[in-house]
Amino acid sequence: MLDLLIGNVLRIDPGSLVMVAVGIVLLYLAIVRSYEPMLLIPIGFGAILANIPGSSAVGEHGFLTILYDAGIVTDLFPILIFIGVGAMIDFGPLLSQPEMFIFGASAQFGIFFTMIVAARFGFSLREAASIGVIGAADGPTSIYVASRFAPHLLGPISVAAYSYMSMVPIIQPPVIRALTTSRERKIRVQFESRSVSKFARVAFPVLVTLTAGIVAPESVALVGALMFGNLLRESGVTPMLSKSAQNELVGLVTLLLGITVGSSMKAETFLRLETLLVLGMGLVAFAMDTAGGVLFAKLLNLFLPRKINPMIGACGISAFPMSARIVHKMGLEEDPHNFLLMQAVGANVAGQIASVVAGSLLLALIR
C-alpha cells in the first residue's frame, strides 16, 4: 500500500501541479470574489480532476471524457444553454426601439480585428476566428465556435470568455471613458415608449430564425435554439416549459458544460505560450468590441440632429444585462437625471443576437 502511494506521488509532474493550482485559483475567484461562480466552480474543479495523475475521471472510460464527447464535440451543451438563455430574455426593449440593432452589429468589430491580430501572431485562420469570438462576451458561442475550429484551444478560450464576462464592470468603463468626453457621457436620450403587441413578440423569434437561416444557414442551430427558448416565453401557453428551460435546463447544462470544459484544461495542452496569447488577445477582442460600439455611436452623432449617448454603443456586446447596468450607472454618475437603462438594454439584447450571428457567419465563411 505504501509503495502504491509513493508511486502515485512520484507520477505527479510539475505541469499537473500547476494546473491543479490554476483550478484552485478559479475556485477562489468564483467563491471568494464571486466571478461567474456558476461556471468557474465547475471549470476549476474539472481542471483539478483532469490533472490528477491516473485520474479515472478522464480517459477512455472516464465520465468527463464521455461527457466531452457527448456534449462538446457534438455541440449539444452550448445549444441547450441557448434554449434557456432565450427563455430568459425579454426582447421587448429591442422591439420598441429596433434602431438598437445597429449597435449590436457594430459592437462585433473586435471579433474581426482580433482575428487579424491573431493571424499575425501565427495562429491559423480557424484558430484566429475562435480567439476573436471571445470578444462577443458570449460564452456558449465561444465554446461552439472553438469546438468546431480549435478544440485544442477550448480550455483557454472558455476560461477567457467567462472570466472577461464577469469582469465587465472592470473592463468596459475605462474603455468608454477613454473614447468619450464628459459632455458626451451627459447626453440625454429620450426613450419613446412604444407598445409591443403580443403578435410582434411571438412573430419575432420565428422571423429572426428564418432570416438568419437564409443569410447564414450555419446559424440555425444557435439562433434557432435561442429563439425557440424565447418563443416558449412569449407564447404564454407554455409557462412550465419556459420556467424549466430558465431554471432546471440551464442549471443542469451549465454544471455539465463547466466541469467538462474544465476537463479539457490538461497540462500538456494548457501550459503553452499560445495560452497566454489567447488570454491576452481575448481581452483585446473584448475591449475592441466595446470600442467599436462607442465609436460607431460617435460616428452617427456627426449626422443625427438628435444625438445619441455614445456609451449606449458599448452595450452592443452580449454580456447581458451587466453591460446595460454599467452604462446606466455611468450615465447617472455624470448626470443624476440621465436615465439610459432602456436604451442600453435594447442595445444589449441586440448584442445577444448579433454575437450568435457573427459566430455563425465565421463558421459558414471559414473552411
Which pLDDT tens digit goes with each residue over 55-80?
899 988 899 999 999 998 888 999 99
Residues of the chain where predicted confidence (pLDDT) is lower than 70: 1-12, 191-193
Amino acid 163: pLDDT:
78
Alpha-carbon distance of 158 to 258, in angstroms, equals 9
Amino acid 75: pLDDT:
87
**233, 87 Cβ separation under 8 angstroms:** yes
Amino acid at 192: E
**161, 57 Cβ separation under 8 angstroms:** no
The dihedral of CA 238, 239, 241, 246: what is its sign? positive
The dihedral of CA 314, 316, 318, 322: what is its sign? positive
Which pTM value belongs to this model? 0.85
Amino acid 5: pLDDT:
47
Amino acid 177: pLDDT:
95
Amino acid 172: pLDDT:
92
Amino acid 4: pLDDT:
44
Domain that holds residue 125: 2-365
Amino acid 64: pLDDT:
94
Alpha-carbon distance of 20 to 76, in angstroms, equals 27
Amino acid 191: pLDDT:
67
Number of domains in the chain: 1
Give 354's contacts (C-beta < 8 A, 6+ positions apart). Answer: 101, 104, 105, 107, 108, 136, 316, 318
**270, 123 Cβ separation under 8 angstroms:** no
